[in-house]
């Protein structure tokens, strides 16, 4: 948390990306096939088959008269962004990142040993109610905060602001559910 509230937050503020991007905890609720992508549509994420082998390597995939667009990224090979969660959209907006920001974030995460723990997330307006992510089978479902006791939650997404109040400077917007003994509810919810 010291890195998130300190050097990571400062980097987001320095490059002015704090309104569009957040830092995410890398975690896995379940395994999906190489021909699938975890796609969010209306606050439910589920594996979608994306098609032939050529589409698997594409960042954006056409499907159902819309697009599957990247939403969450992890760093690999010291600076390369690789998407691991996606949104379904009718717009053709393609994420563009400031190369200096990505380079500095990569250097910071690798130097602090956080490259396998934290990733980058494009923020959207739907997440403003501090949702909780739960898993049912092979679906992640976002439910309102307060439905599950705080003691059963793990922080999973942090956003930053310019204010002097700690809640405005760095707060989590999304959390995952866990068991009272510290284990996750899902049998295959692991980091990485």
pLDDT tens digits, residue range 77-129? Answer: 877 899 999 999 887 676 788 999 999 999 999 999 999 999 999 987 655 55
pLDDT tens digits, residue range 36-83? Answer: 999 999 889 999 988 764 455 567 787 888 888 899 999 988 778 999
The full 3-state SS of the chain, as one line of letters, equals CHHHHHHHHHHHHHCCCCCCEEEEECCECCCCCCCEEEEEECCEEEEEECCCHHHHHCCCEEECCEEEEEEEEEEECCCEEEEEEEEEECCCCCCCCCHHHHHHHHHHHHHCCCCCCEEEEECCHHHHHCCEEEEECCEEEEECCCCCCHHHEEEEEEEECCCCCHHHHEEEEEEEEECCCCCECCCCCECC
Residues above pLDDT 70, as percent of the chain: 77
pTM exceeds 0.75: yes
| Domain boundaries, given as residue ranges, for the chain | 2-177
């Amino acid at each position: 948390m010291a890195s998130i509230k300190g050097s990571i937050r400062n980097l987001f503020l320095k490059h002015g990306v704090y309104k569009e991007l957040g830092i995410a905890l890398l975690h896995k609720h379940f395994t999906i096939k190489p021909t699938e992508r975890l796609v969010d549509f209306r606050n439910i994420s589920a594996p979608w088959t994306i098609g032939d082998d050529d589409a698997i390597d594409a960042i954006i995939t056409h499907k159902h008269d819309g697009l599957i667009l990247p939403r969450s990224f992890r760093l690999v090979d010291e600076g390369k962004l690789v998407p691991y969660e996606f949104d379904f959209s009718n717009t053709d907006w393609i994420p563009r990142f400031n190369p200096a920001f990505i380079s500095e974030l990569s250097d910071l995460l690798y130097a602090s040993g956080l490259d396998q723990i934290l990733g980058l997330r494009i923020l959207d307006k739907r997440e403003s109610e501090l949702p909780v992510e739960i898993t049912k089978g092979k679906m992640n479902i976002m439910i309102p905060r307060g439905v599950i006791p705080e003691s059963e939650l793990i922080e999973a997404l942090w956003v930053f602001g310019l204010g002097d109040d700690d809640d405005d400077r760095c707060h989590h917007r999304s959390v995952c559910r866990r068991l009272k003994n510290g284990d996750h509810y899902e049998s295959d919810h692991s980091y990485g």
